[in-house]
Amino acid sequence: MALIWLLGFCLVLSGNVLGQEKLDYQKRANRYEGIKPKPVSGFDIELLSARIDHHDDTGGVGERFQVRFFLDQARPVHLLVREVDYKHYYWMDRVEPSSPWQAGFSNVFDWPTADVIRQLNGLSLYDLGVVARLDNPSPRAEERVAPALLFQAKQPVKVNGYIFVFRLREEAKIKGAVYKASGGVPVLVQDLGQQRGGRPFEFRWDFSRASAPQGAYKLVLSGYVLSNNDPVTQVVHFYHQPVIE
């Protein structure tokens, strides 16, 4: 009887291990996706997400998630989707689009949720951040991105704002400002105050009541680490296209 129990226990344990291995980060059709060991950032501040401010119906996890973004010209794009606040350590990157990325808003990548996402209890669409890096795949102190629309069913017809998410290595005081790429006075300034190390925080640009002109912009975050007064800086260049078509 004890032997039967032991064999049953081993089978259950083996099944659990195999099930976990299926969720590990690995090549899946047109992307790499899965659970990845906690990434270690060597930067004082890290960009976790740059997306268009939009909230789709998140009452349940749909069959597929989708990312859509605008390019002012055809260029290499390195798409990364990840958890903003670590729980499962979900990660997806190295995507292979069905057609080359091109100028305009027709750049779309979608992937099934059944392989990984729906097996991670409690993981929803807006637990995820998305960064579409232009030209270079690696994080940098000066980023160039295409803010992306993350959705599963409904999408808007225009852009009413952006949400940028960052994480600091150490506690710091931070301010943010959005400028036109040509320079001049900022179009938006926000004092983000004291932000904890290791925790995500947001910079939001909402222009739903006053539209922003189409064109190139940059978000500049600046501040200092509380423990030693060392400066902290992050610059994010992006292009704003108000109409999604």
Residue 10's SS3 state is helix
The span from the CA of 232 to the CA of 140, in Å, is: 13
Residue 173's SS3 state is strand
pTM, two decimal places: 0.90
- Of 209, 91, 84, 73, which is closest to residue 146 (Cα–Cα)? 73
pLDDT tens profile 84-98: 998 999 999 999 999
Tokens of 138: 């690696």
Per-residue pLDDT tens digits of the chain, which is 245 residues long: 554 554 444 444 444 444 568 999 999 999 999 999 877 667 899 999 999 999 887 678 889 999 999 999 999 999 999 999 989 999 999 999 999 999 999 999 999 999 999 999 889 999 999 999 999 999 999 999 999 999 998 899 999 999 999 999 999 999 999 999 988 899 999 999 999 999 999 999 998 887 899 999 999 999 999 999 999 999 999 999 999 98
Q: Give CA separation, 50 vs 84, 91, 162, 189, 201, in Å.
A: 11, 16, 7, 18, 12
The span from the CA of 160 to the CA of 100, in Å, is: 27
